[in-house]
Structure 1
Amino acid sequence: MIERRERKPYWRHTKWQMLASLVPFLIVMIVLPLYAADLNRSRFMGFPLGYFLSLHGMILIAVVTVASFVNRQDAIDHWHGAHEDA
């Protein structure tokens, strides 16, 4: 259980960590489709590049974002004494 005096700093760190994880992912989700038509002029492994990046790039970015979020949230939990290993 997290101590009462640690609750505000804990949630502040958690909110900033969530924003830091979501903003790059959302930027890529917005920017990549804007350039997909230009990227489709090139081909990679027989597929249009914009199509290939949309399929594989988004999945890769999502996995990396979630993994880094979990790792950083675990560090925040340990820092504020809210980890589950206690």
Structure 2
Amino acid sequence: MKVNVTFDMTPEEFRRLLGLPDVQQFQTDVFEQMMEKMKAGEEGYDPMSIYQPMMEKGISAMADFQQNMMAMMMAGQTKK
């Protein structure tokens, strides 16, 4: 059996439905402060040093996902 459910609502409406907080203004403020410090050349606000940990985790997460998928496919092959 296959069931499809479609929600016709905006992301804002969906966020409210789930009871999630509105963090848009907070994100905007933090981003503006970060940009000001990067433009001023403050220590520790090099764009590459800020985003490097996120890039590494994103790449390793994808590799982990691929390894898990391969392990599941191989496990299915050995049971047959």
* Structure number with higher relative contact order (C-alpha < 8 Å, ≥ 6 residues apart): 1
Q: Common fold, TM-score beyond 0.5?
A: no
- Give the TM interval when normalised to the shorter protein: 0.3 to 0.5
Instruction: Give TM-score, length-normalised by structure 2.
Output: 0.37
- Write 1 or 2 for the structure with the bigger share of helix: 1
Of the two, which has the highest radius of gyration? 2
